[in-house]
């Protein structure tokens, strides 16, 4: 077992809240997000999600919880052999929905994030910014209760960064709790919100 | 693109592109590993289908022997200079007619029995001087278990130069041979199906290891294990169906070609003998159905094994 990445961390995310998760590179932001996503199991400690201890969840409940969350990965994690349209529609497709039932919604979202003309393209031919926008669209498409975004504006120009931030805020006003992991101070200054600051594996809340 | 789609597509008046790719398999189908697996499945199906075809051919041939020969016996009377052949023939016919389990008795005319020798001795020979045995063909009643040993003993006693040729021993031996061919065919089919299952299991494990990131993404966007297993299963059933269809079609073509060649050579005496032994080289509808069944079973096995392997892999990941 390696060194502990996160220790003595205690925090909660209220429904419909908006917060930043910040700290220097390597502080453990991505690890924290993976813990919340149940992609990692804590070596010790307790993770409660939607009022339940995740260590006691069976596979079906776990899948149900993941469907209530949206995630934007720092490295995008798009499926390379699928088009942008198919990538963005993926969370709805895995729910077993008919393609015709979500087509308009997916296309509208793709156009909103500026990828309307690129919906045929597959990720390997896209720029970093385009992949990032596609990853964001995929996280938003199922209108999650909790959105976790890892450096969502890291590869886009400031103008689009501001638009995306407005989108996250709009999402929060519609009832989604939003956690944005970033170390972009300029972005955090655009909209004032509580900051969960991670330094050397320890966390403090900067309200 | 239909008008309805255009209306659905959005509010800015732009139509949804007609060539938009939708619902592609989440596990890519056309990869080098996929094509290699398809080739392996095609070859295995071809071999299994040929084995199944051979088993059906043997089963049909043995059925023909049993039907044609088991109900028939022959009395052979060898020429003996001290005896009157015609009197012996009449006596043997009279004795046979008195046996309950014998239905008909027919003396093979001399011209007919001479003709039987033609393939060996050639035509145009005068066989009058040759001591050619005479034959009496006896048809037994069907569904009667004839106990003909008493008749055989009586015949030998009355006419020492007569032999009752019971075909049942010959039929038994041929049946044993046919059963061996059928069993061997079935064993080969089973072995090939096992090999196909193992090939698919290894290929699935390889595909899962190669798609580990995709599997994690699918999990994180809310896919459950059943959904992911279904995606892999669909891919492998398609590969299995394609491979099975190619292998099965190859086997059908080869069997049909062999049948065609056999029928073209049918005029030669050797071919006649072969045909007498194996029957016509045709596997019939049942044979073709067996070949298609083998291909379908291979595809089914591909799907089942991949599903099982994926579920096992996902449980290990959890």
* Residues on chain B touching A86 (C-beta within 8 angstroms): 21-24
A39 Cβ under 8 Å from any chain B Cβ: yes
Residue A176 has pLDDT above 90, yes or no: yes
Mean pLDDT calculated for residue range B216-230: 89
* pLDDT above 50 (res B263): yes
Say yes or no for a CB contact (<8 Å) between A104 and B318: no
User: pLDDT tier at A67 (50, 70, 90 boundaries)?
Assistant: very high
Nearest CA in chain B to A76: B217
In angstroms, the CA B129 to CA B13 distance is 106
Long-range contacts of B213-218 (CB under 8 A, 24+ apart): B213/A77, B214/A79, B214/B26, B214/B27, B215/B314, B215/B317, B216/A39, B216/A77, B217/A77, B217/A78, B217/A79, B217/A90, B218/A90, B218/A94, B218/B26
Is A79 in the B-facing interface, judged by CB distances under 8 Å?
yes
Min Cα distance A24 → chain B (Å) is 26
What is the reported pLDDT for A146? 95
- Cβ separation B223–A85 shorter than 8 A: no
Contact A85 B20 (CB under 8 A): yes
Q: How far is B10 from chain A (nearest CA, A)?
A: 6
Q: How far is CA A154 from CA A75, A138, A151, A176, A183, in A?
A: 10, 17, 5, 22, 9
Q: Do B220 and A59 touch (CB under 8 A)?
A: no
Res B9 pLDDT > 90: no
The per-residue pLDDT for B8 is 41
- Name the residue facing A120 among B11, B12, B21 (closest C-beta): B21
- Structure confidence by residue, pLDDT tens digits, B235-244: 888 888 899 9
* pLDDT tens string B153-200: 888 888 888 888 877 677 778 788 888 888 998 998 899 889 989 988
Q: What burial class does residue A197 get, using C-beta atoms within 10 Å of its C-beta: 0-12 exposed, 13-18 middle, 19+ buried?
A: middle
Partner residue facing B21 (CB), from A71, A86, A100: A86
Restricting to B residues 211-240, those with a Cβ less than 8 Å away from any Cβ of A are 213-214, 216-225, 227
Question: Which value does ipTM take for this structure?
Answer: 0.85
pLDDT at B299: 85
Query: Which residue among B8, B216, B224 places its CB closest to the CB of A63?
Result: B224
Residues of A in contact with B12 (CB under 8 A): 111
pLDDT for res B317: 73
Contact A103 B16 (CB under 8 A): yes
Give the pLDDT score at B273.
60
**Mean pLDDT rounded to a whole number for chain A:** 89
CA dist., res. B2 & res. B93, Å (int): 87
Tell if the CB–CB gap between A103 and B223 is shorter than 8 Å: no
Task: Compare CB distances from A94 to B24, B216, B221 and report the shortest one's residue.
Answer: B221
Mean pLDDT value across residues A55-73: 89
pLDDT digits (tens, 9 = 90+) for A120-147: 899 999 988 899 889 999 999 999 999 9
Structural domains of chain B in order of their starting residue, each with its CATH number: 29-66+172-317 (no CATH), 71-166 (3.30.70.100)
Q: For residue A84, is pLDDT > 90?
A: yes
Using CA coordinates, name the residue in chain A closest to B23: A86
For chain A, the structural domain boundaries read 18-42+49-206
Work out how many CB contacts closer than 8 A connect A with B.
86
pLDDT at position B1, please?
A: 37
Looking at residue B10, its pLDDT comes to 41
Across chain B, mean pLDDT equals 79
- Judged by CB atoms closer than 8 Å, whether chains meet at B19 and A120 is answered as yes
Q: What is the pLDDT of residue B275?
A: 60
Question: Is residue B268 very low, low, confident or very high in pLDDT (cuts 50, 70, 90)?
Answer: low
C-alpha B117: how far from chain center: 34
**Long-range contacts for B194-198 (Cβ within 8 Å, ≥24 apart)?**
B195/B44, B196/B40, B196/B41, B196/B44, B196/B45, B196/B48, B196/B240, B196/B298, B196/B301, B196/B302, B197/B301, B197/B305
Residue B22 forms contact with A (CB below 8 Å): yes
Q: Which two tokens stand for residue A2?
A: 């390696």
Specify the CATH architecture of the domain A18-42+49-206. Answer: 3-Layer(aba) Sandwich (3.40)
B118 versus B280: which is more confidently predicted? B118
Dump pLDDT digits (tens) for B22-47: 677 787 666 777 888 889 999 999 99
Quote the pLDDT of residue B156: 87
């Amino acid at each position: 077992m390696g060194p502990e990445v996160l220790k003595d961390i205690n925090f909660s995310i209220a429904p419909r809240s908006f917060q930043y998760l910040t700290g220097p590179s390597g502080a453990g932001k991505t690890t924290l997000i993976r813990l919340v996503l149940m992609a990692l199991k804590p070596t010790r400690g307790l993770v409660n999600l939607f009022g339940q201890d995740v260590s006691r969840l069976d596979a079906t409940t776990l899948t149900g919880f993941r469907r209530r969350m949206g995630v934007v990965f720092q490295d995008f994690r798009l499926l390379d052999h699928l088009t942008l349209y198919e990538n963005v529609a993926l969370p709805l497709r895995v729910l077993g929905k008919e393609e015709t039932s979500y087509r308009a919604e997916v296309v509208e979202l793709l156009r909103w994030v500026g990828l309307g003309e690129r919906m045929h393209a597959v990720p390997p031919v896209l720029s970093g910014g385009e992949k990032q926008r596609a990853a964001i669209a995929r996280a938003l498409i199922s209108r999650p209760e909790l959105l976790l975004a890892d450096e969502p504006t890291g590869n886009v120009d400031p103008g689009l960064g501001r638009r995306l931030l407005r989108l996250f805020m709009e999402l929060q006003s519609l009832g989604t709790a939003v956690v944005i992991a970033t170390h972009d101070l300029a972005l955090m200054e655009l909209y004032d919100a509580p900051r969960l600051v991670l330094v050397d594996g320890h966390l403090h809340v900067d309200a | 693109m239909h008008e309805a789609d255009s209306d659905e597509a959005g509010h800015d008046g732009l139509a949804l592109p007609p060539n938009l790719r939708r619902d592609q398999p989440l596990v890519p189908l056309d990869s080098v590993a996929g094509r290699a697996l398809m080739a392996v499945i095609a070859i295995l199906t071809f071999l299994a289908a040929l084995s199944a075809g051979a088993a059906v051919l043997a089963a049909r041939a043995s059925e023909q022997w049993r039907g044609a020969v088991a109900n028939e016996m022959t009395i052979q009377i060898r020429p003996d200079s001290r005896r009157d052949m015609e009197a012996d023939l009449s006596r043997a016919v009279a004795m046979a007619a008195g046996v309950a389990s014998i239905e008909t008795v027919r003396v093979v005319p001399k011209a007919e029995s001479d003709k039987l020798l033609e393939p060996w001795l050639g035509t145009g020979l005068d066989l009058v001087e040759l001591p050619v045995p005479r034959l009496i063909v006896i048809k037994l009643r069907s569904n009667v278990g004839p106990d003909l040993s008493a008749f055989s003993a009586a015949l030998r006693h009355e006419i020492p130069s007569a032999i009752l040729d019971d075909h049942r021993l010959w039929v038994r031996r041929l049946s044993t041979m046919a059963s061996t061919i059928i069993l061997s065919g079935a064993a080969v089919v089973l072995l090939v199906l096992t090999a196909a299952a193992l090939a698919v299991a290894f290929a699935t494990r390889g595909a899962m290891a190669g798609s580990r990131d995709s599997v994690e993404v699918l999990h994180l966007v809310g896919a459950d294990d059943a959904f992911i297993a279904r995606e892999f299963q669909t891919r492998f059933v398609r590969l299995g169906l394609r491979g099975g269809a190619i292998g099965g079609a190859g086997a059908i073509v080869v069997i049909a070609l062999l049948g065609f060649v056999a029928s073209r050579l049918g005029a030669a005496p050797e071919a006649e003998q072969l045909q007498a032994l194996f029957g016509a080289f045709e596997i019939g509808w049942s044979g073709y159905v067996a070949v298609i069944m083998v291909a379908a079973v291979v595809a089914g096995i591909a799907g089942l094994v991949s599903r099982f392997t994926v579920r096992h892999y996902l449980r290990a990941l959890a």
